[in-house]
């Protein structure tokens, strides 16, 4: 006998393969929980956790957020033994608010009674039974909503819609949109099955009561139910209102989705007709082939019309979204302008204040320049009073340069051959390396020689300039000394006379 998905999952649990452990878990709950409160609570938590897991994974039925408790214990048979305390477990879950009858859940009047247990976590233990009165031997019947799973799926659904929403139009959806786009992502953790229509109805009722969504009541002229999801930026206490604009936008979105489906179907049909025509041609069935071709052309014409309609409606939707974005941008401009005015007003920045500050800065810079000039003038005056003559310093520097030049070797007097010698020619004619290497080295040598020649010419020019400058200065000194000697001679002659 093939094991069911539920049995396969139960076999993966470590407790399920332990006979001693399962014998204790399958036993009836004691009439006096105070005799072993720790064991009582452990057994209670095991079954409550297990029921939530198998329900949310779809092992009990196709509905992931509710379960039928009739003969529920038979689903957990182990070695032909069924658990004896399932009624106690279910009763505790009802009293703690984890299970709510589905008909009570759907009625608005019962919202207060079970919503309180949803948001205020009650203790799940035998001690809670001391606060509320219930018959642990009572047998429950019918379908019950598993509130923790509803809470988990609702958060997943809201997160998915808000993550995918880039425009306000993305917060408007139909029931089909929610099932197709978020049926799997909104399912409880560990589930491989999507949400059912019953699950979606439960979620919508829960989110509507929490003010996270608004649902329109379909009229005779309205074929779809408009669902408007609250964005994360909107206040939790804000009540959403569905307007005629919202209905129009959702109608456009629904039309786009239906046209897209029709286009895909028409394209698939054209592909099938093309394949049929080719097959009829291969079988020499000319009339059948022509019939397939005629059908293909007719379907192609319909496809063109559908594509044209789809492009037009998509363009309208894009313009609506663009207008929404433009409105947001304009609102941001308005807020930015007001904020900038407030910042300027509170900071005290005005044109007069800026001009006055810049004038102060220019005056300060002018004062600083005058101070620098006074300092420089003071240094020059102090240098003049110290008796230091710049001309004497220059003469001493020139004398040092002359001494430096006299110590340099006379490089210009080294004789250089004007033509290559015979030995030099023989060395050139006897290559000692590969031709390619010699050519590369010759090129490098020519480049190095040219660089050295240019540097040597530059040094010779500098040396010639320095010598010329020194010669002029020396000639001036000689002439000066000669003038002094002649003046002395004339003085001596005058004395002798």
- pLDDT at res. 134: 42
Q: Residue 286 in contact with residue 278, Cβ under 8 Å?
A: no
427 or 227, which is more confident: 227
- The dihedral sign for the CA sequence 471, 473, 477, 482: positive
> Band of the pLDDT at 383, cuts 50, 70, 90?
low
Task: Enumerate the CATH 1.10.287 domain ranges in the chain, comma separated.
Answer: 245-329
Please give the distance of CA 483 from its chain centroid, rounded to a whole number.
93
pTM of the model: 0.62
Q: Which residues contact 292 (CB under 8 A, 6 or more apart)?
A: 273, 274, 276, 277, 280
**Tens-place pLDDT, residues 4-60:** 999 999 999 999 999 999 999 999 998 888 888 898 999 999 999 999 999 999 999
Two tokens, residue 193: 């099955």
**Tens-place pLDDT, residues 320-347:** 989 888 888 888 899 899 888 888 888 8
- The dihedral sign for the CA sequence 161, 162, 167, 172: positive
Q: Which fold has domain 245-329?
A: Helix Hairpins (1.10.287)
CB atoms within 10 A of CB 51: 23
Least confident stretch, 4-18, 106-120, 293-307: 106-120
Q: Residue 86 in contact with residue 47, Cβ under 8 Å?
A: yes
- pLDDT at res. 405: 81
pLDDT > 90: what percent of the chain? 50
**Tens-place pLDDT, residues 244-281:** 999 999 999 999 999 999 999 999 999 999 999 999 99
How many angstroms separate the CA atoms of 463 and 450, rounded?
A: 20
184 CB-contact burial (10 Å; exposed 0-12 / middle 13-18 / buried 19+): middle
- pLDDT at res. 396: 82
Across the chain, mean pLDDT equals: 81
How many angstroms separate the CA atoms of 102 and 144, rounded?
A: 5
- pLDDT at res. 61: 94
**Tens-place pLDDT, residues 184-241:** 999 999 998 999 999 999 999 999 999 999 998 777 666 788 999 999 888 777 889 9
How many angstroms separate the CA atoms of 226 and 174, rounded?
A: 6
- pLDDT at res. 381: 76
């Amino acid at each position: 006998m093939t094991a069911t998905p539920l049995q396969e999952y139960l076999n993966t649990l470590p407790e399920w393969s332990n006979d001693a452990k399962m014998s204790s878990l399958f036993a009836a709950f004691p009439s006096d929980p105070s005799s072993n409160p720790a064991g009582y609570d452990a057994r209670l938590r095991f079954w409550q956790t297990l029921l939530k897991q198998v329900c949310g994974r779809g092992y009990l039925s196709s509905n992931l957020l509710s379960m039928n408790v009739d003969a529920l214990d038979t689903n957990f048979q182990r070695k032909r033994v069924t658990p004896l305390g399932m009624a106690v477990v279910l009763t505790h879950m009802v009293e703690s608010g984890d299970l709510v009858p589905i008909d009570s859940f759907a009625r608005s009047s019962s919202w207060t009674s079970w919503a309180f247990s949803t948001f205020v976590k009650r203790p799940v233990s035998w001690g809670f039974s001391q606060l509320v009165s219930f018959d642990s031997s009572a047998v429950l019947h019918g379908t019950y909503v598993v509130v923790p799973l509803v809470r988990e799926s609702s958060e997943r659904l809201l997160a998915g819609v808000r993550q995918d929403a880039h425009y306000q139009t993305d917060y408007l959806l139909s029931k089909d949109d929610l099932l197709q786009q978020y049926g799997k992502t909104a399912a409880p953790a560990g589930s491989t099955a999507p949400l059912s229509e019953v699950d979606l109805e439960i979620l919508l009722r829960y989110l509507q009561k929490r003010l996270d969504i608004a649902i329109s009541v379909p009229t005779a002229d309205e074929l779809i139910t408009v669902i408007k999801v609250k964005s994360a930026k909107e206040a939790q206490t804000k009540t959403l209102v569905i307007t005629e604009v919202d209905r129009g936008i959702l109608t456009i979105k629904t039309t786009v989705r239906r046209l897209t489906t029709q286009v895909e179907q028409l394209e698939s049909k054209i592909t099938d007709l093309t394949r049929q025509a080719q097959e009829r041609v291969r079988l020499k069935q000319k009339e059948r082939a022509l019939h397939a071709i005629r059908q293909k052309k007719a379907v192609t014409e319909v496809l063109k019309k559908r594509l044209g309609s789809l492009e037009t409606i998509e363009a309208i939707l894009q313009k609506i979204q663009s207008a929404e974005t433009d409105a947001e941008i304009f609102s941001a401009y308005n807020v930015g302008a007001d904020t900038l005015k407030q910042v300027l007003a509170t900071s005290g920045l005005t044109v007069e204040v800026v001009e006055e500050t810049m004038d102060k800065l220019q005056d300060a810079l002018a004062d600083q320049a005058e101070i620098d000039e006074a300092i420089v003038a003071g240094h020059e005056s102090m240098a003049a009073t110290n008796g230091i003559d710049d001309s004497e310093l220059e003469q001493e520097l020139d004398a040092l340069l002359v001494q430096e030049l006299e110590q340099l070797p006379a490089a210009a007097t080294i004789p250089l051959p004007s033509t290559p010698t015979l030995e030099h020619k023989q060395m050139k004619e006897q290559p000692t390396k590969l031709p390619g290497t010699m050519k590369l080295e010759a090129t490098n040598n020519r480049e190095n020689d040219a660089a050295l020649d240019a540097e040597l010419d530059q040094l010779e020019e500098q040396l010639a300039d320095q010598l010329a400058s020194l010669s002029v200065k020396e000639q001036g000194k000689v002439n000066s000394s000669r003038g002094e000697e002649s003046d002395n001679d004339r003085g001596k002659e005058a004395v002798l006379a």
